[in-house]
Copies of this chain bind each other. A is one copy, B any other.
């Protein structure tokens, strides 16, 4: 049996629950839970909503591009897209004219569904944003981006 070798934590903390990673995970989990609950009433999952939102602002994105935008694998996004396609919320051409990427677009029903869900999601985000002092919001966003970039996100 070897002795325990304490590792210096990244910053002073009494336990893991004070680590940045833990707090980040907690906040993300809270957001995910709130969105799950709200979107369920609209018949959408979080990845599905994210996909619709991306397609609304960038019509014609391919499966791989959507996957990167939603931070999931191509395989996962493929499943999401099929679900959305079966629900007639998006459509994709059967074959690509140029490369291999199949550009996806919202259907009219997809747009209206997105509009409905967006109200609920924005209310959640508003509630979340209101919890932090307004003067720190910009810095918060900057720091989140820096952390993501530092980790290769």
Contact = CB atoms under 8 A, between A and B. Distances in A.
Interface of A: 1-2, 4-5, 7-11, 15-21, 23-35, 50, 53-54, 57, 69, 71, 108, 111-112, 115, 118-119, 121-122, 124-133, 136-137, 139-141, 143-153
Contacts of A10: 122, 125-126, 128-129
Contact of A152 (B30, B50, B115, B119): B30
Given A7-B118, A53-B16, A119-B7, A23 B151 contact: no
Contacts of A145: 23, 26-27
B54 A148 contact: no
Nearest to A70: B25
